[in-house]
Structure 1
Amino acid sequence: MKAVKFKNRNWDVAGILQFPKDFDETKKYPAIVCAHPISSCKEQTAGNIYGKALAEAGFITLAFDASNQGESGGEVRFLEDPATRVEDFRCAADFLTTLDYVDEEKIGVLGVCGGGGYAVNAAMTERRFKAVVTVVGANYGRLLREGDFTADAAIRTLEGIARQRTAQARGAEPAITVYRPNSQEDRIAAEINDVDIIEAVDYYQTPRGQHPNSPNHLRVDSLDKAMAFDAFHLADLLLTQPLHIVIGDKVGAFGSYRDGFELFNKSASKQKSIQVVQGASHYDLYDGEEATKRALEEIVPFFNKYLA
């Protein structure tokens, strides 16, 4: 394992390279960019589950913190900007092509949750990615537009952001919100009982997955940037690389189950597959021993087929 930095515009993006057993820097290896979920960081599922397992399977893997988040640079902090997130992937590919031990013709990408949506969007125009995997990939823009599942949720959110930006332009401090409740007690008080939210709190806010680089902070005025974003827009035209989609059949509010089928049906990929892990929830596929094992039983052969 090696800590690395690469550039996105004029700031550093922080990453972790992981190497196969008996790595020999005089040889060339296939490589996989591993993208973390929204609100997450490189040390969580993207790096310590999928990045680690794929390195053990013979690939070089690169997990990185999104710009403006974690150990990566970029101002302002706690920003969730789809355009910048997608550019991070291109910069990761740039970085890998500078490494003598990476085969630049054999670079793949894997994204978890919102990172899966971003991975798909990046792969449409980043042709150095030769194979794409999503694990409970979610379309962040779609999720935001649904909001509280009322017809005018998106418009009400945008009106609120407009008022917040006006206040900030006049000197107010930026508003910081949370992605999820900070505790199960807060969740219960808010009367939220969906399985994805329950398990999000359990994963991120307890020792199970908690990490200081994932502080549960989100700038409110970044939501407008994602509201009009569709991770799968033009997938029917531009997403032609081999594609493997992993979802669980325990359906929650984040919508990764239906997003998985939408992506599968929409993509232009001629070599595509969808894997439904029975009995698995969204967060089981973050770090659940049995669920991730079953996912990797198909992910590793997929990457071996198209990269190795």
Structure 2
Amino acid sequence: MTWRTDDIPDLSGRRAVITGVTGGLGLHTALGLARKGADLVVTARDETKASTAVDRIRRDVPGASVDVVSLDLADLDDAKRASAEVARTYDRIDILVNNAGIMIPPRSRTKDGFELQIGTNHLGHFAWTAGLWPVLDASDARVVTVSSAAHMSVGGIDLTSLTPQGSSRRYRRWQSYAESKLANLLFALELDRRAKATGSRVVSVAAHPGYASTNLTKTGPSVRGLSLPGIGIHQVSKILGQPASHGAWPLLMAATDPSLTGGEYVGPGSLGGARGRPRLVATSRTARDEDLADAVWSASEAATGVEFRV
């Protein structure tokens, strides 16, 4: 049966926390949840962009409850501070959508010295989610981790990229992006396994947006300002990709479909997963490698200095 946003149940009285809502998938995920009555807690690095996003949400959903938390996932201390702030402020979190990310930038490092993509997309979210875990666990929350079909293009993760020294290999931006998205998927599935093993009622699922036209394709390749490659990729995405509002459908299904019990992966169902209505989709074999997932989890604890005990 085809999933539609009308299938999202009433979320009145439920709280959803979403990272990266200043545009694209995060904004449309926030809108979709707010329209069904969810109280929102949204994160952003840029205060001005956050204000613009909140204005958009409140314009489209009058009366929407939206709180903003400053979060820079490329700074582990800030990820720990922000998660501690959220855990102190709110007594429950029903939905967590780990959406924020960076895509194919020039070789760059996080504040802590990690390659920017693995550091932001995976390690930042790992530390952030670990800090929220006591509240998530007590709330029987749904945790959605946003991955990408790009994870299919790599057969593993260079674990040295999860150290400040970094990998000695030549930097290839697409490879590093794909590995960061594989790390997201490994994390989501390992979190599901650990939650089930301990009797936690947290549901961990993953989603990908397909080929969606968002500002990530324009700003990612340059990080600071625009670049000709970024502008070119963005223009192609506008022609071939589906709108960001449609790219958010898998995230919304993953966040709200009551039939999901954990360990699922949701993505577009047409054109080889590039676009269309969401459905359950396959992962790569590597993404379901439990030994690799355990190794990445341990390396992530060492990298972040956070013991993520489920």
The question of a shared fold, defined as TM-score above 0.5 by the shorter chain, is answered with: no
Larger Rg: 1
Greater strand fraction, Structure 1 or Structure 2: 1
Greater helix fraction, Structure 1 or Structure 2: 2
